Structure 1
Amino acid sequence: MERLMTTEPLFTEDAYLRETPARVIAADERGVVLDRTVFYARSGGQPGDSGMLRWEGGEAVVAEAVKGEAGAILHTLAPGAALPPVGAEVLASLDWARRHRHMRMHTTLHLLCSVLPGIYATGNQIGAEKSRLDFDLPDPPAKEWFTEQLAALVAADHPTGTSWITEAELDANPQMVRTLSVQPPRGAGRIRLVRIGPEGAPVDLQPCGGTHVRSTGEIGRVEVSKLESKGRQNRRIHIILPE
């Protein structure tokens, strides 16, 4: 896999695609690179997707998608999995239940930012079972307050959407970046924005390359399970999605 070709990230435009036909452009012990994929590659605190690759005469479990070289997405396989032949046509299918929980969690973290205007996030981690967001916040409200605020935003069923701006436009509006630990990827000349709420009066608007639900109502019940002190001013807010 000396030379990797760019993978078309279909999830950027449609996070609800669960599978896609694709062609294998590289494969070795590190994993498989496809010309296109529905698998989100681990970044920005969101885990990489897992699922299956199926081709004529074989199949393999994808343990996690990660970023490769030069814009490639590397589908790392479970130990002992067979490699599809280079040039083969495969069907790439997500573990949709896991991905959808990541989408619900990720949108919830954006809502959490929205209830703390002007406060910067200092770290984050998204998981299917629990997630957390760290804030530079010396005296946070009680966890019950956060749960109530999030419940109201979920009940309002705000739509989500994406748009693109130039890197220069982001430089002119640095307040859009809400996280100190994760900066928007640069070099492509444009930055993807994720918006929650109407275009004219968004509830939240910030650079993000992750996957999100179509509207906040899809999140369902959310609960702030714990507030934790991680330093003099740093507070960690843990969230869960009770079923």
Structure 2
Amino acid sequence: MALRTDALFREDSYLREAEAEVLAVSERGGVILDRTIFYATSGGQPGDTGTMVFADGTVVPIAATVTGETKDEIIHVPAEGAAVPLVGSRVKLAIDWPRRFNLMRMHTACHLVSVICPFPITGASVAEDDSRIDLDIPDTSYTKELVSERLMDLVRGDHPVFTRWITDEELAANPGLVKSKNVRPPSGTGRIRLVCIGENAVVDSQPCGGTHVARTGEIGEIHIGKIEKKGRENRRYRLRFGPVVAG
């Protein structure tokens, strides 16, 4: 039977530390807690890394965070050879915040690209300094210069980014909220998490379980470094931090 971890990051992406109780330790040493600030690999965003501190002061590096039998079962993977805690004990958690914050900035920027290029998303991968979003886009007018310019317009607009929850029925009644061509958000739980951008979600609103910044201005300088053709109409837009480099 799958265990459930209260995913604190779904309500507050800025939590850097927390305390939790150990629910279970797998045969491979994966640690399942009653609550966590560690995001688990999903939706193109990598899981968090950081540390877990035992009551006796032992500091254990967390090398990865993944999901178990369900999205609600979050497994913290200690570095190879590290100690594991006792079931029922209390631990202190701390994520690698600089890494997480860069992932939040990048993930939010990917949402903005999907606004600028309103075409089906065929894939995405978020990384600290070079992310990508793949689009089923036949129109070649969406150049890296144009998209970079519009991307920075939205960043400078410093639009609020927030989440809200809707029911399965509300999502079914608004299929346009789903931008992914091949992957549907999980249903059957009774509610779907939307990430919204702009006052009253005027810029964007789409199902997403990832972590994002609170305002687009926090993304900072960012641009499209390259556009790669991945099929007759599929194009990969690569996002990189920093200003556009001429030439």
Q: What is aligned with 1:139?
A: 139
Written as runs of structure 1 = structure 2, the 5 A alignment for 1:206-225 is 206-225=206-225
Cα deviation for residue 4 of structure 1 reads 4.3
Q: Is the 8 A contact 1:123 1:182 kept in 2?
A: no
Q: Is the 8 A contact 1:229 1:236 kept in 2?
A: yes
The secondary structure found in structure 2 opposite 1:48 is coil
Asked whether 1:227 is paired with 2:242, we answer no
Question: Which residue identity lines up with residue 233 of structure 2 in the other structure?
Answer: Q
Q: Is the 8 A contact 1:224 1:240 kept in 2?
A: yes
Q: What is aligned with 2:8?
A: 10
Q: What is aligned with 1:161?
A: 162
Q: What is aligned with 1:116?
A: 117
Q: Is the 8 A contact 1:4 1:26 kept in 2?
A: no
Cα deviation for residue 212 of structure 1 reads 0.5
Distance in 1, matches of 2:150 and 2:194, equals 23
1:64-112: CA deviation from partner (whole Å, max 9, x where unpaired) = 1111124210001111011011111100110001111110001000100
Q: What is aligned with 1:202?
A: 202
Q: What is aligned with 1:55?
A: 54
Cα deviation for residue 185 of structure 1 reads 1.6
The secondary structure found in structure 2 opposite 1:225 is strand
Change in CA separation of 1:34 and 1:80 when aligned onto 2, cut-off 3 Å: same
Query: Please, which moves more after superposition, 137-146 or 186-195?
Result: 137-146
Distance in 2, matches of 1:158 and 1:6, equals 33
Distance in 1, matches of 2:6 and 2:208, equals 17
Cα deviation for residue 52 of structure 1 reads 0.4
Q: What is aligned with 1:148?
A: 149
The secondary structure found in structure 2 opposite 1:133 is strand
Equivalent pairs counted in the alignment come to: 239
Q: Is the 8 A contact 2:30 2:78 kept in 1?
A: yes
Detail structure 1 runs of 4+ shifted over 4 Å in the superposition: none
Distance in 2, matches of 1:242 and 1:27, equals 42
Distance in 2, matches of 1:74 and 1:184, equals 21
The secondary structure found in structure 1 opposite 2:199 is coil
Unaligned runs of 5+ in 2: none
Asked whether 1:192 is paired with 2:193, we answer yes
Unaligned runs of 5+ in 1: none
Distance in 2, matches of 1:81 and 1:69, equals 24
1:94-148: CA deviation from partner (whole Å, max 9, x where unpaired) = 000111111000100010011123x111110001121000011123322111110
Written as runs of structure 1 = structure 2, the 5 A alignment for 1:3-152 is 3-28=1-26, 29-57=28-56, 58-70=58-70, 71-117=72-118, 119-140=119-140, 141-152=142-153
The secondary structure found in structure 2 opposite 1:97 is helix
Distance in 2, matches of 1:158 and 1:198, equals 7
TM-score, structure 1 normalization? 0.95
The secondary structure found in structure 1 opposite 2:172 is helix
Question: Which residue identity lines up with residue 217 of structure 2 in the other structure?
Answer: G
Question: Which residue identity lines up with residue 113 of structure 1 in the other structure?
Answer: S
Q: Is the 8 A contact 2:29 2:84 kept in 1?
A: no
Cα deviation for residue 167 of structure 1 reads 0.7
